[in-house]
Every structure is written in C-alpha cells, then in structure tokens.
C-alpha cells in the first residue's frame, strides 16, 4: 500500500504520489483509464485546474471519479480568466472572478465541494487580502474545504501564510531544483503547511530516459546548471540508481519525499503504463540516508534569485 500523509492541519490524508491531471489529454476513454489505474494503485490525490484544456480536463476528471468521490482528495486551481470558446486567458485574482471560477469548476467536476482550492499563481502586486476574503467566504459557503496556493515565489507564499490558514503550497521541487530548501521547506513546516511538489522527475531527466531527455531539454542548462553540469547530475542519478538496483525515478522520489513537510509528489501521466512505472518506482525507493552520499557529486546549492521576501 502507498503511504498517506496529512495535508497541513486538515483532516485530509493524501497519497505520497498524486496524479497530476494536466497531461491526461482530451480522449475521455484514455484519460479515464489513467485515472482508474492511479486509483487502483493507491493514489487518492488528483490535481487538476480550470485552465487545463479550458475546463475540459475538469469535466473528464469529474466523470471518471463519479461514484467514488468520497475515497478521493480532489484539488483544482483558479485565477486564470478565460471564456469558453475564446482564445487566450489573463490573470485575474479578483474576488468576483475567483468566486465565479470556483462555481464553474464545481459544475464541470460534478461536485458539491472541492477538497482543496488553489490560487493558480500569483504576484506580490495582487490584491492578496481580496483573494483571502474570497477563499474564506467560499469556505463558509461550503464550496471549498481547504485553501491552497500554487506558487514558486517566496514573497507571495509568505504573504498568504501570514494572512490566512492555507493547507498546502504546490511548488516545483526536485534534485535539479532545490531552491525550496533554502527558505521554504523549513518555513512551511514550522507553519504546518504541506508542500505538494511538482516536477520531481526533472522534466524527465531524472528517469531512466534521463540522457535522452537531457539531449532534448537540458543542453542549454537549467537554473544554476549549465548544460554539462546538468548532464553530470543526470549521470550521477543514473549511477546511483544502478548501484542500488533501482530506477532513477526511485532515487528522485526518495530525495523529494525526504523533507517531512512534503506530503505528495504530483506526477503527470499520459498512459496507464506511465502510472504503473511511477508506482513501481515509488515502492522501490531506496532509503535516502543510503543514497545521499552518492548524490553529492554534481549537486549545487540553489537559491531563489527573484521574488524573495
């Protein structure tokens, strides 16, 4: 069975691997088979957003979970203003739009409430008090159970933590993006806010196809890594995996789940087989203390260069 961890200070317990629904596609049968495989494998946390395929993703998720909603933790996001049938969208964190967006999401999902509603981005210039007011009213109305934030900006995250009781922050975190270790992970743990990590497999570079993905996506580098440094890290992860007889995915998951405030790794999947591979890697994780010495070569200390508090 998959471990479940408490989300913030809530009554919700989420699987340590969640399903990121963005890559499900628009083929309803295929998407449903992916969701079915995830649930069968012990995943109870599904993360979508109204912007994914302009609402179609939420509709597909809603149909797929019908009849088993009580066994799942459903998260969605809002704040990107779009009109069905029109191209494009724009950022709109206004109270009026957020309250409308939640209701539209619930209609598409076929739910009376959503477990976790996340602001899908945000800047320090946003009317944060207005956003908080909208979210707290939605809680009082029974439309959302808990408040979350999807952001990599420390100043935005701290502003929300200081103004309201948020349960989680979705942020990018992996062996190739260790910025949260500098300021965020301990800070959020101290405030009893969970991290839901995306990007834990490093754009595919922290998988058994790591070098292939590096050739496609990493030759120009990433954050503090130039192309060659990034290749060295990819090779280090692959070598560590070989030493322990596991996949690079298992090494990457062990690293990303090590900090106690990380509740779940949200991993996308475009096929049931990809879900199976992720679950197998999860169950084969080596102990972080065992792999830690092998990972030091090639790792860089990383800090947030922008949006600092």
pLDDT at 115 exceeding the cut of 80: yes
In a domain, 304, yes or no: no
Q: DSSP string spanning 152-171?
A: --HHHHHHHHHHS---EEEE
pLDDT at 302 exceeding the cut of 90: no
DSSP 141: T
Catalytic residue selected from 45, 52, 225, 255: 52
What average pLDDT does this structure show over 201-223? 95
Q: How many domains does the chain have?
A: 1
In a domain, 218, yes or no: yes
Active site residue 282: no
What average pLDDT does this structure show over 111-135? 95
**pLDDT tens digits along 50-77:** 988 888 999 999 999 999 999 999 999 9
**Which value, in Å, is the radius of gyration of the alpha carbons in the chain?**
19
Return all residues near 108 (Cβ < 8 A) that are at least 6 apart: 50, 55, 58, 59, 62
Q: How confident is the model at residue 99 (pLDDT cuts 50, 70, 90)?
A: very high
In a domain, 307, yes or no: no
Q: How confident is the model at residue 17 (pLDDT cuts 50, 70, 90)?
A: very high
What CATH number has the domain bearing residue 31? Answer: 3.20.20.100
CB-CB contact of 260 with 222 (8 Å): no
Q: How confident is the model at residue 80 (pLDDT cuts 50, 70, 90)?
A: confident
pTM, whole model, 2 decimals?
Answer: 0.95
Q: DSSP string spanning 274-306?
A: HHHHHHHHHHTPPPHHHHHHHH-TT-------S
CB-CB contact of 301 with 177 (8 Å): no
CB-CB contact of 134 with 163 (8 Å): no
The runs of H, that is alpha helices, within 195-226 are: 210-217
**pLDDT tens digits along 231-249:** 999 999 999 999 999 999 9
**Residue of 108, 18, 27, 21 lying closest to 63 (CA atoms):** 108
Q: By CB neighbour count within 10 A (0-12 exposed, 13-18 middle, 19+ buried), where does 249 fall?
A: buried
pLDDT of residue 309: 63
In a domain, 186, yes or no: yes
What six digits make up the tokens of 189? 């743990």
What average pLDDT does this structure show over 28-57? 95
What average pLDDT does this structure show over 149-165? 94
How many residues appear in the chain? 309
pLDDT at 298 exceeding the cut of 90: no
The runs of H, that is alpha helices, within 53-209 are: 56-64, 95-109, 128-140, 154-163, 180-183, 185-190
pLDDT at 295 exceeding the cut of 70: yes
Lowest average pLDDT, out of 84-88, 163-167, 200-204, goes to 84-88
In a domain, 308, yes or no: no
HSE of 21, CA atoms in CB hemisphere, 13 A: 35
What average pLDDT does this structure show over 38-51? 96
pLDDT of residue 212: 96
In a domain, 144, yes or no: yes
In a domain, 24, yes or no: yes
In a domain, 301, yes or no: no
Residue found under tokens 């595919």 = 204
Q: Which residues constitute the domain of residue 69?
A: 4-295
């Amino acid at each position: 069975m998959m471990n479940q961890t408490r989300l913030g200070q809530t009554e919700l317990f989420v699987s340590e691997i969640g399903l990121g629904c963005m890559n499900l596609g628009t083929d309803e049968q295929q998407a449903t088979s992916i969701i079915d495989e995830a649930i069968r494998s012990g995943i109870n946390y599904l993360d979508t957003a109204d912007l994914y395929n302009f609402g179609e993703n939420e509709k597909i998720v809603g149909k797929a979970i019908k009849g088993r909603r009580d066994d799942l933790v459903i998260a969605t996001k809002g704040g990107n203003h779009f009109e069905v049938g029109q191209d494009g969208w724009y950022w709109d964190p206004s109270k009026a739009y957020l309250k409308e967006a939640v209701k539209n999401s619930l209609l598409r999902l076929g739910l009376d409430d959503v477990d976790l509603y996340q602001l899908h981005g945000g800047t320090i210039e946003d009317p944060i008090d207005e956003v908080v007011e909208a979210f707290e009213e939605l809680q009082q109305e029974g439309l959302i159970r808990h408040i979350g934030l999807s952001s990599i900006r420390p100043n935005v995250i701290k502003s929300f933590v200081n103004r309201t009781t948020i349960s989680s922050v979705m942020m990018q975190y992996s062996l190739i993006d260790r910025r949260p270790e500098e300021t965020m992970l301990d800070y959020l743990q101290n405030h009893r806010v969970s991290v839901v990590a995306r990007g834990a497999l490093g754009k595919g570079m922290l998988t058994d196809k790591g070098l292939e993905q590096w050739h496609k996506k990493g030759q120009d580098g990433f954050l503090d890594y130039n192309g060659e440094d990034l290749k060295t890290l990819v090779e280090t992860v692959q070598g560590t995996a070989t030493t322990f007889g596991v996949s690079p995915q298992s090494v990457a998951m062990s690293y990303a789940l090590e900090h106690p405030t990380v509740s779940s790794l949200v991993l996308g999947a475009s096929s049931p087989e990809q879900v199976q591979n992720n679950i197998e890697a999860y169950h084969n994780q080596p102990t972080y203390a065992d792999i830690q010495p092998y990972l030091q070569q090639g790792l860089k200390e990383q800090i947030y260069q922008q949006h600092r508090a």
